[in-house]
Chain A
Amino acid sequence: MANTGAQKSVKPAIEGWFTLDERAPHLIGSRCRACGNYFFPKESRSCRNPGCGASELEEVQLSARGRLWSYTNNCYAPPPPYVAADPFEPYAVAAVELADEKIVILGQVTPGVRVEDLEVGMEMELALGTLHADAEHEFLVWQWKPAA
């Protein structure tokens, strides 16, 4: 996906939400040292568990695999600030439940995977893909794909 054809530099579409290791990417969340609860995206203020409220939050990489909680797709181009390709290619969106973190996280599904290829409960894994590109940059985002 990166640096194919023209020499574009690759940048994350948002800083600090995921690692850039293409072979084994991880989402970056935070974990409360006191109660063990997780947050995605990162929580920098204090633990939002009202029974805790501790201010000791550590940055952690979240599990890269989970079960498909539900899925859908976008058959029409979303409005800005989404940067839609022209012509627009429909893409699937997945909600994946991470077992250890007990959290459901949304993500686009990798291109070429259609809703017909998905089933609630199947194992999914994290990937990186191109969200959009301009003349100089390719902007990366986390995506879900059926686990190998």
Chain B
Amino acid sequence: MAHEVAVLGVGMHPWGKWGRGFVEYGVAAARAALADAGLEWSDVQFVAGGDTVRNGYPGYVAGATFAQALGWSGAQVASTYGACATGSQAIDVARARILAGLCEVALVVGADAAPKGFFAPAGGERHTDPDWLRFRLLGATNPVYFGLYARRRMAVFGATPQDFAQVKVKNSRHGLHNPNARYRKLVTAEEVLASPVVSDPLHLLEICATSDGGAALVLTSMEFARRRATRPVAIAGVSTVTPRYPNTWIEMPNFATDSAAGVAVPDTSFRDSIAKAAYEQAGLGPEDLDCAEVYDLSTALELDWYENIGLCKPGEAEKLLREGATALGGRIPVNASGGLACFGEAVPAQAIAQVCELTWQLRGQAAERQVAGAQVGLSVNQGLFGHGSSVIVKR
């Protein structure tokens, strides 16, 4: 396919609460990815940095910050932000640059050092910023939105708290031996349901933590990669779609949905459109997937994603989970890495980390969590303010 680029190297700094700066995590991930690719920093022609908004100015210019930390080399640079979808934006910029023939080797890096507890908006009195206002006027934390989605799923599809808890149980088993995961402990459904409720019906152990971490990719042209590797992993699709009007789902950080009073609702919902765009680019469909990394900001949200990426019809996700289809050894393992349940979220690194995991899976390097014979994988994610994010990789 003409529109593919290669993932020649992947690297991560383990997720955790390390108490150090995000630059350190990003640089460690970048060096790991370069070593994995068998390349030097001086070989990199373009750096795409995923911005962090919680670490001051160096975070807003992440591409240059990482380039400086690695030692100014004259490489061209871009810094991108798309909330939780930041990493995909950086991947997409690097991919476009390679496909345009403007460079052969690009380095994509995202890293974060996150505060404890709830994410909060930017400081100051920001009366025109919806992200500030939702906290001020509603106390609408991210888990409030996750709770609304979970309760909606229970009302519409008959999902139960037990179903949600089983997502955590599955992911805790998947991430148990992942050296980059922060939480490596088996969790039982009883423990999940006995943990404190944060936003009904979701318990503490069902909501993604905030983490430190870093992830990096070395992307190259397919020609460049084929000179260095046999059957390199290829990126066959990257979706960074925005919603179509009217979006009738209540999205962070909004107070309301779009109104559908004067206009027809699109055939495809925003969540459904995210993976769809990646499938269309790749010329693949859900039936081609061997594994998927989906954004389990909450346990219930993982079930929504099964349907949004086409693994099953709406309302059938609980059945898929109960059958074990999405567990390792099942038909389509989801979050073999352990997902956000085992990592917590390091915002600008997370979509990149999803691709690191899929690459290890497709190379057969995922050790205890290996999906046997994986050839095609999909990541999906969504950032607030209308950022879709999905990447399809294949061998």
Give A residues with C-beta under 8 Å from B.
Answer: 13-14, 32, 35-41, 48-52, 69-84, 91-93, 95, 100-108, 115, 120-121, 131, 141
Structural contact, B139 and A78, CB atoms closer than 8 A: yes
Structural contact, B121 and A103, CB atoms closer than 8 A: no
Structural contact, A49 and B255, CB atoms closer than 8 A: no
Rounded to whole Å, the gap between the CB of B333 and the closest CB of chain A is 30
Chain B residues within an 8 Å CB radius of A75:
196-200
CB contact under 8 A between A120 and B246, given known A13-B136, A106-B255, A106-B256: no
CB contact under 8 A between A106 and B250, given known A78-B135, A80-B135, A93-B138: yes
Chain A residues within an 8 Å CB radius of B147:
72-73, 93
The answer to whether B226 has its CB under 8 Å from any CB of chain A is no
Structural contact, B144 and A103, CB atoms closer than 8 A: no
Structural contact, B155 and A120, CB atoms closer than 8 A: yes
User: Chain B: which residue is nearest A74 at the CB level?
Assistant: B139
Known: A69-B250, A93-B138, A100-B261. 9 other contacts (CB 8 A): A39-B256, A51-B263, A69-B152, A71-B200, A79-B118, A83-B136, A106-B134, A106-B255, A120-B152
Contact among A38, A51, A91 with B261 in the assembled complex (CB-CB below 8 Å): A38
Chain A residues within an 8 Å CB radius of B134:
106
Rounded to whole Å, the gap between the CB of B249 and the closest CB of chain A is 8
Chain A residues within an 8 Å CB radius of B149:
70
Chain B residues within an 8 Å CB radius of A77:
139
CB contact under 8 A between A105 and B148, given known A14-B137, A52-B262, A79-B117: no
Chain A residues within an 8 Å CB radius of B255:
40-41, 105-106
Chain B residues within an 8 Å CB radius of A41:
255-256
One digit per residue, 1 when the CB lies within 8 angstroms of any chain A CB and 0 when it does not, for chain B 242-258 equals 00011010100011111
Structural contact, B259 and A74, CB atoms closer than 8 A: no
Secondary structure type dominating chain A contacts = loop
Chain B residues within an 8 Å CB radius of A48:
245, 258
- Contact residues of B between 184 and 206, Cβ < 8 Å to A: 196-202
Chain A residues within an 8 Å CB radius of B137:
13-14, 131, 141
Cα A79 to Cα B152 in complex, Å, equals 25
Cα A115 to Cα B139 in complex, Å, equals 16
Contact among B133, B198, B246, B256 with A14 in the assembled complex (CB-CB below 8 Å): B133
The answer to whether B151 has its CB under 8 Å from any CB of chain A is yes
Rounded to whole Å, the gap between the CB of B244 and the closest CB of chain A is 8
Structural contact, A79 and B245, CB atoms closer than 8 A: no
Structural contact, A70 and B261, CB atoms closer than 8 A: no
Structural contact, A76 and B262, CB atoms closer than 8 A: no
User: Chain A: which residue is nearest B151 at the CB level?
Assistant: A70
For the complex of A and B, 7 pairs with smallest distance between CB atoms: A72-B147, A78-B139, A120-B155, A36-B262, A37-B262, A35-B262, A38-B259
Rounded to whole Å, the gap between the CB of B154 and the closest CB of chain A is 8
CB contact under 8 A between A73 and B200, given known A13-B137, A36-B262, A108-B139: yes
Structural contact, A82 and B135, CB atoms closer than 8 A: yes
User: Chain B: which residue is nearest A82 at the CB level?
Assistant: B139
Cα A141 to Cα B135 in complex, Å, equals 13
Cα A107 to Cα B263 in complex, Å, equals 25
Chain A residues within an 8 Å CB radius of B313:
none
Structural contact, A37 and B138, CB atoms closer than 8 A: no
